[in-house]
Amino acid sequence: MNTPVDMSTKSTAARLAAAQVKAEALTEALPWIKTFAGATIVIKYGGNAMVSPELQQSFADDIAFLRFAGIRPVVVHGGGPQISAMLKRLGIESEFKAGQRVTTEEAAEVIRMVLSGQVNRDIVSRINQNGDAAIGLSGEDADLLLANRTTAEVDGETIDLGRVGEIAQVNTTVLTELLDAGRVPVICSIASEIGGEAGKPLNINADLAASAVAKALKAHKLIMLTDVPGLYANWPDTSSLISRIDPDKLRELLPSLDSGMIPKMTAALEAIEHGVKQAHIIDGRMAHSLLLEVFTSEGIGTMVEDTIVEPAPLGDGHQGTQEDENE
């Protein structure tokens, strides 16, 4: 005779098992929370990571978690899919060269409208569902990002990209005041042109903008969310994913990379060369990819690093990286 199964007992056991898994995840995160307490982390957000509402909310929740864990996150975003969609609606062709969007005067106005008026507002609104910490900024606000016009080189030929810029100066005073007040700056990647006409923005590649902000703030980490799992040594061989690479090896690989990956890896390399301790390329299509990178021992994606950073041991009285941040 079979003994009846007490479904309530079985259900309780399942819930407890699930809760235990969550508790173990928090325990694993503890040394990393301690390591990065007080650290500034710059996160580039864009591309396919911001297409679906589910991924958008996942990202916003991750940013809120970082803040509540004592980290100082700064978000720098683009909005390629939204920009391309709006340009198409308006009958304006999208063109890319050397991994960057060719930006006409007409396109520059559309880009400003989409990034400042649509994408930035949405990111800020989602983060603020977990508390009113996020502040939306354009690179034009308070001369936050100042840039010079730039060109690209393709096969030895100089290419005019139109109203595309390279950041020359970051107003760190504004950002530091916001971070010290417990705010999360959310910056869209357009800039004022140095010596240029007022009201004529420059379009800035979001990866390079995030790198410039990370360098200026002397951030601990630069994390770039993209639409691939990381850097591959032999694309499209998915088994050739590089989990960690040093700057010298990356310099060797850079000329052989796909045009879309070049700005990302250039941004990572420049950040490391200017004192940022770690730069990461991670798959933004994965829910909570940001937390997986920051708070797990395995991490995800590709990390560019000169010196290996180990988690702070528990019980040693060390309060994370605040001392390093103040040097």
Q: Is 79 annotated as a binding residue?
A: yes
For 262, the 3-state DSSP assignment is helix
Number of neighbouring beta carbons within 10 Å of residue 44: 31
Q: Is 101 annotated as a binding residue?
A: yes
Amino acid identity of residue 50, one-letter, is M
Tell me how far apart the alpha carbons of residues 148 and 166 are, in angstroms, rounded to a whole number: 5
Strand segments, DSSP code E, in the chain are 40-45, 72-77, 96-97, 100-101, 134-138, 145-154, 157-170, 184-188, 190-193, 202-203, 221-226, 231-232, 241-242, 244-245, 278-283, 302-305
For 277, the 3-state DSSP assignment is coil
Q: What is the 3-state secondary structure (H, E, C) of 179-210?
A: HHCCCEEEEECEEEECCCCCCCCEECCHHHHH
Tell me how far apart the alpha carbons of residues 30 and 81 are, in angstroms, rounded to a whole number: 36
Sign of CA dihedral 62, 257, 232, 302: negative
Q: Is 80 annotated as a binding residue?
A: yes
CA proximity to 139, closest of 192, 94, 175, 95 = 192
Number of neighbouring beta carbons within 10 Å of residue 280: 26
Amino acid identity of residue 303, one-letter, is M
Amino acid identity of residue 8, one-letter, is S
- Known binding-site residue numbers for substrate: 79-80, 101, 203
- Known binding-site residue numbers: 79-80, 101, 203
